[in-house]
Amino acid sequence: MKATLMKLASLRTIIALILGADMVAQAGMIYNYGGSAYDIPDGNLAGAYSQITVTGADSPMSDISVAISISGGYNGDLYAYLSHNGVLVPLLNRIGVSGASAFGVSGAGMNVILSDASGFNGNLHSAGSDFLSGRWQPDGQPISPLSSASSFSPTGGSVTLDGSFRNVDPNGTWTLFFADVSAGGGQATLNGWSLNITTVPEPVSAALGCFAGVILLVTLLRSQRVRKFLDGR
């Protein structure tokens, strides 16, 4: 009896692998900024930008995250957005600025991943004053970084990466813009950044994958070899 149960468990594992094969094929692709590190001009709203060009994606996006590495500067002075195909998402908007804090957090630099996924540290606007690391949700406040301090929500805004870019064609140019909007906090340097993009499975490919899995499963179940396997003969 125990041997039969173990064989049944093994067969269920085989079935799960067959039906889940198409899901594995849809893992995210990472696209890295290939340029050199560059300074973000201190106290200059004109800022600086860099770009990543995505090619070869054959279906719309379902999920996106952004990894950013910055050294130096004053995090409460920084403003950044990601744009693609006419869509713009605020990633940072003067971290910590609110009616209770006109200057924001005093940390210098960060090495963060920005994503809408649950289980992260929370909205980046509510981060502390240290060097920032780990996973955060983007700021998402679509207001000017020069707005009054009381205009900022201490818990961030509602504009999200997936909500803005889901089902969009990922191919083309992605732009990361950064500005240091208040002089005197030191020099911030963008060391690098990357995109992690997951696409929606093509309907035809997904259907063919499931169909092939079902056909293979039926063939296995009908075979005398499987019957003998289950009977212990």
d(CA 146, CA 181): 7
| Average pLDDT per block of 10 residues along the chain, 233 residues long | 46 43 58 97 97 95 97 97 97 97 95 90 94 97 97 97 97 98 95 96 49 45 51 56
Q: In this structure, what DSSP letter does residue 45 have?
A: E
Taking only Cα atoms into account, the Rg of the chain, rounded to an integer number of angstroms, comes to 24
| Residue 162, pLDDT score | 97
| Residue 20, pLDDT score | 45
d(CA 10, CA 14): 6
d(CA 21, CA 6): 23
Second-level CATH architecture of 27-200: Sandwich (2.60)
d(CA 53, CA 72): 27
Report which residue type is found at 16: A
Adjacency order of strands within the sheet including 87-93: 44-54, 172-180, 78-84, 87-93
Q: Rounded to the nearest 5 degrees, what angle is found at the Cα of 105, between the Cα atoms of 100 and 106?
A: 135
Report the Cα 76 to chain-centroid distance in Å: 23
Give the start-to-end residue ranges of the domains of the chain: 2-23+205-231, 27-200
H or E element: which one contains 109?
none
